[in-house]
Amino acid sequence: MSVISTAAVAVTAVNAVLVAGSGLGAVLKIEPILEPMAKVGVPESWLVFPIGTLKLAGALGLALGLLGLPVIGAAAAVGLILYWVCAMYTHIRSKDFSPQFYLGIVFCALAVATLSLQIRSVTLR
């Protein structure tokens, strides 16, 4: 396994675990999520679907990518990039630059890194 393949697996695994945790938090409507979502105008009814469901689907897609379905993993990374861009836009639109905004930037960067490493790993084969 090349260094890039190892990095791709590590970054994808970390991304999948973090996004799954975030999605589970949304589905379970944990308290630290409720106030920031309300602050930017996201209805609580959206936490399970679409927000939590999309995050959990993204995490599952990344995991499937690690299990030998790289196209699914790449598609999941693209979907997560789009999700996080929309999340950051929601914060910008609301003029909310709280820690959740910057966490969204980190999650988006992680999704971009995941996609980049997956693409690079596949092209080296």
Fold (topology level) of 3-123: Butyryl-CoA Dehydrogenase, subunit A; domain 3 (1.20.140)
CA dist., res. 58 & res. 75, Å (int): 9
**What's the pTM?**
0.94
| pLDDT, position 121 | 81
Domain boundaries in the chain?
3-123
Could you list the mean pLDDT of each consecutive 10-residue stretch along the chain, which spans 125 residues?
85 98 97 94 96 98 95 96 98 96 98 94 73
Q: Is the peptide bond before 70 cis (omega within 30 degrees of 0)?
A: no
CA dist., res. 33 & res. 23, Å (int): 11
CB-CB contact of 40 with 96 (8 Å): yes
